[in-house]
């Protein structure tokens, strides 16, 4: 068996052990497992590994408290800066609008009033 | 998983849940629902979750109810939407509820040394981009995507690692003696667990991510493909290659440790 074929068998036995093969493909793989002791041991190894993967998957490692706290703190700081930026942005915009109005660059400003008086 | 379960008709005393035919049963388990059907649970979501979690955190029913109620521990709804509007309290509750998922996935893809930093990075990205979360998918699916992308971006340089190669006979793991109650077997199992996590680091990063999502997080191939943003067939291929590469790495490690053990015995 050439290397590529061996890798294909390796993957196929893995799919069988994971219960992902159906119909003809599953039956062919079963007969391969029954005929070849090396492939049988491979299937047993896969099943053992999958059981271990599943067991680790059931574990629920708790994240360090620092991770949770820091993420929340950063969000609060970021929100504060966002609000500050909005506030100063708003004040700045208001001053700018007032200045534009004063110069009469927009209709109805002080310059227009003076021009009307003249 | 939204395709498999649909929670609706939510009232204070209970809710209805529909099992759709798209439900994929875990491999090796008998099908639980052969036909679509509707059930009504006359209990509050939190109570149902406590019962359902006995089946495991990744049970589809647990995830369906969690997703339907957004975040249930605090009895809050629409937390992602509120966080997207800039409500830090809602974001804080999302962090508290989902930090386990983020840390768990980062731990398995990156290992213990980098998991903490990666988790931090994930939450920074979530806070910055939660406005992009449109609610088309479950929040947990979107969070998986951000987590996996963050972990993979730290691992791009590993793309050329092991895949599609092994030398000699098919890889084999040594048979473990003893039952579950045997103290020696318990210690051996712990060692095997640590070995497996170390061997996982030898698997190519994207294959490892697919393997973690499929076999540790218990997600369907459709979900794995959606999270990794690849076609279903590619997700299947990555899981398959990752599984084979993990077994090869594990068998090599088992062979090495047996060899060194033998040498140690010879030396003594």
| B51-91 pLDDT tens trace | 665 655 556 666 666 666 554 444 456 788 888 888 888 89
Stretch(es) of chain B classified as CATH 1.10.1740.10: 72-154
Q: Residue B7 forms beta bridges with which residues?
A: B17
The question of ipTM being above 0.85 is answered as no
The pLDDT-based confidence of A113 (bands split at 50, 70, 90) is low
Q: B 67-106 residues with CB below 8 A of A? A: 86, 88, 91-92, 95-96, 99-100, 102-104
Could you tell me what percent of chain B has a pLDDT over 70? Answer: 56
Sign of CA dihedral B254, A30, B244, B184: negative
Q: How would DSSP label each residue in B113-145?
A: HHHHHHHHHHHHHHHHHGGG--SSS-HHHHHHH
Q: Which residues of B touch A6 (CB under 8 A)?
A: 166, 170
Model pLDDT for residues A6-26, shown as the tens digit of each residue: 888 899 999 999 999 988 999
Residue corresponding to tokens 């709804």: B77
Q: Which residues of B touch A45 (CB under 8 A)?
A: 171-173, 247, 251
Cα-based distances in Å from A35 to A5, A32, A38, A40, A91 = 17, 5, 9, 8, 82
Tell which CATH classification among 1.10.10.10, 3.30.930.10, 1.20.1250.20, 3.40.50.300 matches the domain B163-267.
Answer: 1.10.10.10
Which CATH number is B72-154 given?
Answer: 1.10.1740.10
> Which range, A90-104, B134-148, B161-175, B224-238, has the best average confidence (pLDDT)?
B224-238
Q: Which residues contact A73 (CB under 8 A, 6 or more apart)?
A: none
Q: Kindly report the average pLDDT of chain B as a whole number.
A: 74
pLDDT recorded at residue B131: 87
Is residue A34 within 8 angstroms of chain B, CB to CB? Answer: no
Are the beta carbons of A46 and B247 separated by less than 8 Å?
A: yes
pLDDT recorded at residue B36: 46
Stretch(es) of chain B classified as CATH 1.10.10.10: 163-267
A78-A80-A82 Cα angle (round to 5): 70
Sign of CA dihedral B150, B211, B251, A12: negative
Looking at residues B39-48, what average pLDDT do you find?
A: 59
Least confident segment among A31-40, B34-43, B236-245: B34-43
Q: How many helices (H) and strands (E) does chain A have?
A: 5, 0
More confident residue, B1 or B245: B245
């Amino acid at each position: 068996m050439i290397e590529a074929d061996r890798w294909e068998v390796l993957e196929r036995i893995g799919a069988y052990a994971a219960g992902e093969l159906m119909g003809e493909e599953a039956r062919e793989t079963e007969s391969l497992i029954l005929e070849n002791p090396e492939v049988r041991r491979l299937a047993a190894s896969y099943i053992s590994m999958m059981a271990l993967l599943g067991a680790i998957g059931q574990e629920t490692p708790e994240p360090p408290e620092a991770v949770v706290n820091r993420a929340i703190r950063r969000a609060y700081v970021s929100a504060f800066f966002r609000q500050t930026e909005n506030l100063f942005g708003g004040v700045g915009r208001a001053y700018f609008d007032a200045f534009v109005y004063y110069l009469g660059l927009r209709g109805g400003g002080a310059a227009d009033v003076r021009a009307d008086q003249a | 998983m939204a395709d498999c379960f649909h929670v609706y008709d939510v009232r204070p005393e209970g809710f209805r849940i529909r099992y759709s035919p798209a439900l994929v049963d875990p491999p090796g388990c008998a099908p639980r629902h052969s036909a679509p059907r509707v059930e009504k649970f006359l209990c509050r979501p939190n109570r149902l979750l406590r019962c359902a979690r006995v089946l495991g955190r990744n049970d589809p029913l647990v995830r369906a109810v969690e997703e339907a109620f957004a975040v249930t521990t605090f009895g809050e709804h629409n937390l992602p939407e509120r966080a997207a509007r800039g409500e830090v309290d809602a974001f804080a509750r999302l962090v508290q509820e989902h930090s386990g998922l983020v840390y768990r996935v980062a731990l398995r893809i990156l290992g213990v040394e980098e998991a903490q930093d990666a988790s931090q990075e994930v939450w920074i990205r979530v806070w910055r981009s939660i406005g992009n979360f449109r609610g088309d998918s479950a929040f947990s699916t979107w969070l998986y995507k951000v987590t996996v992308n963050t972990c993979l971006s730290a691992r791009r340089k590993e793309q050329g690692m092991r895949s599609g190669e092994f030398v000699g006979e098919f890889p084999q793991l040594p048979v473990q003696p003893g039952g579950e109650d045997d103290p020696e077997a318990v210690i051996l199992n712990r060692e095997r667990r640590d070995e497996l996590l170390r061997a996982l680091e030898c698997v190519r990063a994207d294959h490892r991510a697919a393997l973690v999502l499929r076999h540790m997080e218990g997600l369907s191939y459709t979900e794995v493909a959606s999270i990794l943003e690849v076609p279903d067939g590619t997700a299947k291929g990555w899981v398959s290659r990752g599984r084979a590469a993990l077994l090869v790495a594990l068998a090599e490690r088992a062979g090495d440790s047996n060899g060194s053990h033998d040498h140690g015995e010879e030396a003594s």
